[in-house]
Amino acid sequence: MELALKHAAEQTLKDFPKLTADNLALSIIDVTKPSTIDRGDWHGDAPFYPASVVKLYIMAEVFHQKLEGDPEAARALGEMIRLSDNDATAYLIDLISDTCPGPNLEGRALAKFLDKRRVVNRWFASMGYDISAMAKPWSFGPFGREKQLLGGDARPNRNRSSANSFASLMLWIVRHRAISGADSDAMLALLERPLNPPRADENQVKEFIGESLPAGSREWSKAGWTSEVRHDAAYIELPGGRKIILVIMTRGTADDVKLIPAIAKSVLSELQ
């Protein structure tokens, strides 16, 4: 697996010269066998701004707190994962952290706000993850205390994850160990991505891993992109029976819609 990713990464860097090695991270887990895994990565522990892929951590925390049964939370989960809606994500972040947006805070009030927002970080840290998922994703912003949360110009509290961390979370869900088997099944239902999307505004297949998959494949995924980064984290079942978790994270070439499908195609070719 390690060698396959190395070859795929090297080919990608040749084919996309604007992409540099430090701006590419790959992680892969072969879960075809039910009792064992085969794992590899390329810069898999490198930290990246995760864009909307961070919503995987938010989803997991909603189930961890057993809030998914609430009708509004359930609706927000669907909008957040299936459509990558930032408003739904903001609602869920406030729900799981017991916070609300507003003007600047000072002193103890700000410290309490920041501590509450670390709820996802603390839970995943207890399981060995080094991630940050405390900031809301914004189309325009942030404002007020949400801007304070980032911690100044250096933005030390900005959302952060590695490809390996996302792959581990997907593995946890795919193996039906994320909180409970029923919770894992519910998360997989949210993540299932039709390769021929019924809605025109569904854009987490085209321009991402799903675009490169052969006919007859199935995919469960969460993509994310900004003007800075373009990522995808997917569990895929191939027609031949192989089952793979693949995470692709890129930075600096986010406007290239051919990049992630090309990387995925190269990885799959190396695995044949």
Tens-digit pLDDT profile for residues 153-169: 999 999 999 999 999 99
Is the confidence at residue 199, as pLDDT, over 80? no
In the listed set 145, 160, 175, which residue is the last one of a domain according to the structure?
A: 160
Nearest residue to 248 via CA among 24, 55, 62 = 24
pTM score above 0.95: yes
Residues 150 and 61 grouped into a single domain: yes
Residues 169 and 242 grouped into a single domain: yes
Residues 6 and 80 grouped into a single domain: no
Residues 96 and 199 grouped into a single domain: no
Q: What is the pLDDT of residue 1?
A: 87
Is the confidence at residue 259, as pLDDT, over 70? yes
Residues 44 and 169 grouped into a single domain: yes
Residues 203 and 186 grouped into a single domain: yes
Query: What's the angle, vertex CA 133, arms to CA 130 and CA 135, rounded to 5?
Result: 140
Give me the domain span that covers residue 28.
Answer: 1-48+162-272
pLDDT in tens, 117-127: 999 999 999 99
Residues 95 and 149 grouped into a single domain: yes
Residues 269 and 182 grouped into a single domain: yes
Residues 223 and 176 grouped into a single domain: yes
Residues 166 and 44 grouped into a single domain: yes
Q: Which residue type, as a one-letter code, is found at position 100?
A: C
Cα separation, 180 vs 63, in Å, equals 9
Q: What is the pLDDT of residue 203?
A: 75
Nearest residue to 142 via CA among 158, 118, 121 = 158
In the listed set 140, 160, 180, which residue is the last one of a domain according to the structure?
A: 160
pLDDT in tens, 75-115: 999 999 999 999 999 999 999 999 999 999 999 999 999 99
Q: What is the pLDDT of residue 201?
A: 62
Residues 180 and 204 grouped into a single domain: yes
pLDDT in tens, 44-65: 999 999 999 999 999 999 999 9
Total number of domains constituting the chain: 2
pLDDT in tens, 215-250: 999 999 999 999 999 999 999 999 999 999 999 999
Residues 42 and 117 grouped into a single domain: no
Q: What's the token pair of residue 255?
A: 């406007």
In the listed set 136, 160, 184, which residue is the last one of a domain according to the structure?
A: 160
- Helix ranges, 52-126 (H): 55-64, 71-82, 86-97, 107-117, 119-125
CATH number at residue 16: 3.40.710.10
